[in-house]
Structure 1
Amino acid sequence: MLSRRNKLLLFKLLSLFSVVRGYNILVITLAQYLASIFILSPQTSLREVVLDLNLFLIVTASGLVIASGYIINNFYDAEKDLINKPRKSMLDRLVSQRFKLTTYFILNFLAVLAASYISFRAVLFFSSYIFGIWLYSHKLKRVPFLGNLVSASLAIAPFFVVFVYYGNFETVIFVHALFLFLLILAREMIKDLENMAGDMAQNYKTIPILYGPKVSKIIIGFLIVLTLAPALLLIKSFDVGYMHLYFIACIVLLGLFIVLLWGARGKKHYVWLHNILKFIIVAGVISILLIDVDLVINRIL
């Protein structure tokens, strides 16, 4: 049996994991490695990619900055989250605000330190990334639509730094990136609908608060329709192996999403819509393996 002190320590660790969204960081780390292996450097051996110290430091620095970003976002949104996410907020509050800020600075320091082993340009990139996340959390997230754009841009930044590292600027990479960006942007706008109660209480000027849920739904629907364009391009114009099955499934799911979006009336519905987009994004990470099934089999065996 765990002692009371050990139980409290365990709950605090769970609280910190919840604040930094450890599960999201694991998915992003996996996505960076899978993209490196199967999209950005398919001719490089698996051993070379996995044992590449610079890539490991890039992925590590990305994870540290993202974790610190979740902390600073949680710090500024503490009051709002009490309304929008009361259960999660109670767990998050097991760790003091002072400890969160201390952890935030430590993680950022470690990220820049890791980047310094790569190059001065990497230090500049991750320093700018840290500043961008802070600026978004402190100011920009309160600006309608601009906050959503910045949030989506920050979300794909870890993938940008990896394909810059490999110097792979093929058109197919940008089409993949556009697909992901539009999905994330739509998800950010769904979150605004989901969090309207807390946003109104804290005087956030989001699109559904300023112009109403109907206008927000129209914009989200338009973004989903735009997302179909890169999905169709990736099916018809590029060789993505069996991953074309994923994009076909996405088109079906996104069609269902639009139908459900128009009928959505409350937070419960918006949470479901949010989860559909999250599922599509996470499934996309795993589906990278479908680009070259023979390569996957050969590298496993």
Structure 2
Amino acid sequence: MLSRKNKLLLLKLLSLFSIVRGYNVLMIVIAQYLASIYILAPNLPLWKVVFDLSLFVLVLASSLVIAGGYIINSFYDSEKDLINKPRKTMLDRLVSQQTKLSTYFVLNFFAVLFASYVSFKAVLFFSGYIFGIWLYSHKMKKIAFVGNLVSALLAITPFFAVFVYYKNFETVIFVHAMFLFLLILARELIKDMENIAGDIALNYKTIPILYGTKYAKAYITLLVVLTLIPAILLIKTFDVGYMYLYFIASIVLLIFFLILLWRSSTKKHYVLLHNILKFIIIAGVFSILLINVDLVLNRIL
């Protein structure tokens, strides 16, 4: 049996994993590698992509910065999260604020150190990314419109590191990025609807607080309608293989999402809406495999 000291250590490790959203970081790693293999460098042998040390370092640096971002976000939002997410916050509070800060600096230091292996430009990129996350967590997230926009931009930033590395700037990639960006932006607004109690208590100037839930729903509706544009373009204009099935399913889910949105009035409803958007985003990661099924089968077999 585990001793009391070991149990506490295990709980603290689980707490730290919860704070850095380890599952989210893992999903971003998978997304970066799948995008590299099947979108950005489909003509390269699988082993050249998977065992590319520079790509590994870029993905590792991205993961460390993102994990650090979740930590600094938790550091500044500890009081708000106690209101909005009391159960999760009780677990997260097993890690002290001082430990959070120390871990944040260590993660960012190693991210920049690893980036230096690739190039000085990579160091500048990740240094700017770290600063952007800190500025968002400390100041920008409290500002209506700006906070949501910056959060969505920061969420897709790691993918641009990989795009630039492969120097692949085809239009289809930016259409994919716009689809993802609009989904994430809509999700950020839904999160504001979920967290309205804590935001009011701590004087956050979010869209639902400043303009009301009806205005927020109208804005989310506009974003979802705009999301349909890149989805339709990817189905009709670009060759995305069998991934067109994912975009058709996404359109159906987004229409269902809008129906539920205008019938929603409680935090429970907004959590469901948040999960629908999260499911679409996660499903999109694995749907990358549908772009070239033959290539997938060849690389597996």
TM-score by length of 2: 1.00
2:295 maps to which residue?
Answer: 295
2:109 maps to which residue?
Answer: 109
Distance apart, 1:125 and its partner CA? 0.3
1:229 maps to which residue?
Answer: 229
Question: SS at 1:117's partner residue?
Answer: helix
Matching of residue 216 in structure 1 with residue 216 in structure 2: yes
2:266 maps to which residue?
Answer: 266
Aligned amino acid, residue 177 of structure 1: A
Q: Equivalents in 2 of 1:83, 1:57: separation in Å? A: 38
1:153-178 CA-partner distances (Å, limit 9, x unpaired)? 00000001110110001010000000
Distance apart, 1:297 and its partner CA? 0.5
1:172-224 CA-partner distances (Å, limit 9, x unpaired)? 00000000000000000000000000000000000000000000000000000
Give percent identity, aligned residues only: 75
1:55-81 CA-partner distances (Å, limit 9, x unpaired)? 000000000000000000000000000
1:1-301 alignment runs, 5 A limit: 1-301=1-301
Distance apart, 1:134 and its partner CA? 0.2
Q: Equivalents in 2 of 1:195, 1:213: separation in Å? A: 12
Q: Equivalents in 2 of 1:85, 1:257: separation in Å? A: 23
Question: SS at 1:223's partner residue?
Answer: helix
Question: SS at 2:126's partner residue?
Answer: helix
Question: SS at 2:241's partner residue?
Answer: coil
Aligned amino acid, residue 153 of structure 1: L
For structure 2, the residue ranges without an aligned partner over 5 or more in a row are: none
Question: SS at 2:295's partner residue?
Answer: helix
Aligned amino acid, residue 210 of structure 1: L
Aligned amino acid, residue 169 of structure 1: F
1:9-65 CA-partner distances (Å, limit 9, x unpaired)? 110000000000000000000000000000000001100000101100000000000
Q: Equivalents in 2 of 1:204, 1:247: separation in Å? A: 35
Aligned amino acid, residue 293 of structure 2: V
1:129-161 CA-partner distances (Å, limit 9, x unpaired)? 000000000000011010000000000000011
What root-mean-square deviation, in Å, do the aligned CA atoms of Structure 1 and Structure 2 show? 0.4
Distance apart, 1:3 and its partner CA? 1.3
Q: Equivalents in 1 of 2:161, 2:220: separation in Å? A: 28
Q: Equivalents in 2 of 1:164, 1:151: separation in Å? A: 21
Q: Equivalents in 2 of 1:210, 1:193: separation in Å? A: 12
Q: Equivalents in 1 of 2:108, 2:197: separation in Å? A: 32
TM-score by length of 1: 1.00
Distance apart, 1:2 and its partner CA? 1.4
Aligned amino acid, residue 54 of structure 1: S
Question: SS at 1:116's partner residue?
Answer: helix
Q: Equivalents in 2 of 1:53, 1:180: separation in Å? A: 27
Consecutive aligned runs of 4 or more in structure 1 exceeding 3 Å deviation = none
Distance apart, 1:230 and its partner CA? 0.3
Q: Equivalents in 2 of 1:39, 1:121: separation in Å? A: 23
1:237-275 CA-partner distances (Å, limit 9, x unpaired)? 011011000000000000000000000001000000000
Aligned residues: 301
Distance apart, 1:4 and its partner CA? 1.1
For structure 1, the residue ranges without an aligned partner over 5 or more in a row are: none
Aligned amino acid, residue 298 of structure 2: N
Question: SS at 2:262's partner residue?
Answer: helix
